[in-house]
Homo-oligomer: A and B are copies of this chain.
Amino acid sequence: MKKEEVFIFGHKNPDTDSICASLVSERLDKKNGWDCTVAKRLGKVNKETQYVLDYLHLEAPEMIDKVEEGQEVCLVDHNEFNQSIEGIEKAKILSVTDHHRIANFETSEPLYYTAKPYGCTCTILFEEYKRLGHEINKEEAILMASAIISDTLLLKSPTTTEHDKKALAELEKIAGMDIQEYGLNMLKAGTDLGDFSEAELVNLDAKNLDKDGNKFVIAQVNTVSIEDVLKRQKDLESAINSEIEKKGLQLFVFAITDILNSNSEIIALGNRTDAVEKAFDVKLENNRAFLPGVVSRKKQLLPDIDKNM
């Protein structure tokens, strides 16, 4: 691990925005004459992201699982330390580019921090390219477009902003491709859950959260058939209960999101499932509840659950 390198990475259990934003940031830094930044990742590439990398014939960034004290790092697509790499508390954070709430984060020195309440980190990076007057090439356009499609479910998620729509429209032109067709194929690739064990499924896109010392997790998988995933409910619950035990969680919410119809079914376990019932004014039956119109963890799941924890 060379000390002079600055690592750029997204959150644990990386999604398409985390991987694409780190790759795009590396490219953007180079355009700004800053050659020492290198994209990294904090976990396995999911199938949706693999679709993007295969499409572009790109290698995934190198995987790392901890950083040494004093390592210089740039965070994209997250800020909370419990979603970041082991050792982050003692790293030197030079910059953060993110579109999430700010929590469980602190530094001892001033830094660059750019957050905007957009649907996707790559939309913020898109605006940085524009601001700095850098041309966006086709590969960069497809990386950023893929992240926006992923985070906004093809602009259908309520997290979508006008900024994301504008960015995707312009990126589509540069990419010169039918973004609807490409995007649906990409999203569908991510819903192929057959290969994953239940233990892998509940960790695939899981966010570790902390409210005043109460630890909880909100995990999410995308699917084109909620019913198919629910066939594995019993084994999923065993996997979830292992996580609860292992991490000392108060609550584990597993959201199964239908990307075609924009609804979610959740499975909630732990001794604080009351927070979920209060948050959505539902009664869990068989540990489950159907949440019509809910697709966004950030906008629709997290704030209300967090408030009731």
Contacts and interface: CB of A to CB of B under 8 A. Distances in A.
A275 to B, nearest CB: 14
Nearest to A101: B107
Contacts of A104: 106
A148 B108 CA distance: 22
A260 to B, nearest CB: 26
Contact of A113 (B108, B114, B118, B307): B114
A72 B302 CA distance: 20
A2 interface: no
Interface residues of A, number: 26
Interface string A153-178: 00000000000000000000000000
Nearest to A302: B108
Interface in A268-309: 298, 302-303, 306-307
Contact of A108 (B99, B101, B108): B101
Interface in A111-153: 111-118, 131
Given A111-B115, A113-B113, A103 B101 contact: no
A106 B101 contact: yes
A113 B102 contact: yes
A100 interface: yes
A105 interface: yes
A303 B111 CA distance: 13
Contacts of A194: none
Contact of A107 (B102, B116, B118, B131): B102
A106 B102 contact: yes
15 contacts: A100-B110, A101-B106, A101-B111, A102-B105, A102-B106, A103-B106, A105-B105, A110-B115, A110-B116, A110-B118, A110-B298, A111-B115, A111-B117, A112-B117, A113-B115
Interface of A: 99-118, 131, 298, 302-303, 306-307
Interchain residue pairs A-B with the least CB separation, the first 4: A110-B117, A113-B115, A103-B106, A101-B107
